[in-house]
Amino acid sequence: MEFVKLEEAEFRKFEQKNPYGNLYQMAERARMRRKIGWNAEIWGVKQRDIILAGGIVYSKNGMAMVPMGPVLDWNDLKVVEFWLKNIVKKAKEGPNTTLEIFPPVIWTVRDVKGEILRENNIDELMALFEKYGFKYEGRTTKVENKSNRWVSVKDLSKFESIDEVRASYKKNVRNKLRKCSKDLIISEAKDKSELEDVALAISGSNDIHGVKSRDVAYYEHIWDEFGDQVHFHIARRKEDNAIVAGRVIFDHPNETISFISGTVQKYRRMNAMTVLQDYLLTNCFERGIKRVNFYGMEGDFSPNNHLLEFKSGFDVRVEELIGGFRLVMKPAKYNLERAMKLSRRAGGFVKRSSAKAIKAIKARKTKVVHKVDSDSE
């Protein structure tokens, strides 16, 4: 076996046919991420010119990472170790401070209540990462920005008709569809100019959840690089054609992925996401797609997890992935950067707290003045 830098075209052909291939490791995504400031290289393993493994290594600001990768047979620990040993060696030669790897390996499969339906043995894999100096980042439950640890999926292979697909939804979901579908028009963006509508809808949900929104250029990069592998779904109100909700969908040979979505907040009571969810599932069924991945979610099975509650209405299962491993390659630099980051956070907290206190004092003074004026009258 030899460890080599792979050409994009040969890696794409390998990744698209591999059962561990996924959106994060698509060559198209590497090109798109380069446009927004990331470095992306593809490192793999060959044996007699046959690719056995490959992974896109993204890097920026001293951090290197391999989200949902590398793509290889994760049951073949000999190949896993060869790739891991060599990527560590390669990474240490470069300028980056840390290397994070998020294997596309499922740890548990659960129902929507959190009960484990299947659990895979990952002891040998954990030991392998420990052997090469990685620290496990934990069994986290929050939504991960770098790579998902919790996803919900819908298996469409067991259905023989769209009626059967819809019959699998919960009763309240079916009722919402009957009431709301007649008020909405669902379409797919056919022109780049429509991406502004998608961005508008998604930013509506981001704003309400305190998440920074992407600008239209981000969606334009996706449009340019993914071509017919990406779909932008738009929900409009029939009454006046107003934008109600939007969604970005990716097709991969292994699954279709609902990547990001959002609703214009003043129309949130129209339940457009329920209608869009049904549109996605029935459309995928018609196209012969067997697996729909609704992507990132929290590993929280309490009644307070409203996103899981919404998804559970469509008869999904939950997959818990193994999670992330971090290797600190330059400890002194890493500790200094971490201390500076904590200092900036602390400074920001003090600034926000001071501003809040000043605002409260001013409000208090205003109340006192009003009270004095009232008393004098």
Cα distance between residue 131 and residue 14, in whole Å: 28
Pairing of strands 255-263, 291-296: parallel
pLDDT tops 50 at residue 160: yes
CB 144 within 8 A of CB 296: yes
Percent of the chain with pLDDT over 70: 88
pTM above 0.85, yes or no: yes
**What average pLDDT does the segment 226-236 reach?**
97
Cis peptide before 331 (omega within 30 of 0): no
Helix (H, G, I), strand (E, B) or coil at 235: strand
CB 246 within 8 A of CB 232: yes
Q: Tell me the average pLDDT of the chain.
A: 91
Q: Could you tell me which residues come within 8 angstroms of residue 133 by beta carbon, excluding any fewer than 6 positions away? A: 88, 327
Helix (H, G, I), strand (E, B) or coil at 143: coil
**What average pLDDT does the segment 16-44 reach?**
97
| Cα–Cα nearest to 223, from 277, 272, 259 | 259
pLDDT tops 80 at residue 60: yes
- 2-105+120-139+324-329 has which CATH code? 3.40.630.30
Radius of gyration of the chain (CA): 24
Q: What pLDDT does residue 77 have?
A: 97
Q: What pLDDT does residue 357 have?
A: 61
Q: What phi, psi does 261 have (nearest 5°)?
A: -155, 170
- Taking domain 158-289, whether its CATH number is 3.40.630.30 is answered by yes
**What average pLDDT does the segment 336-343 reach?**
75
**What average pLDDT does the segment 345-354 reach?**
62
Q: What pLDDT does residue 358 have?
A: 63
Cα distance between residue 281 and residue 154, in whole Å: 8
pLDDT tens string 174-190 = 999 999 999 999 999 99
Domain with CATH 3.40.630.30 in the chain: 2-105+120-139+324-329, 158-289
Cα distance between residue 257 and residue 291, in whole Å: 9
**What average pLDDT does the segment 76-86 reach?**
98
Cα distance between residue 265 and residue 256, in whole Å: 26
**What average pLDDT does the segment 285-299 reach?**
96
Pairing of strands 63-67, 98-102: parallel
Q: What phi, psi does 233 have (nearest 5°)?
A: -90, 140
Pairing of strands 50-60, 291-296: unpaired
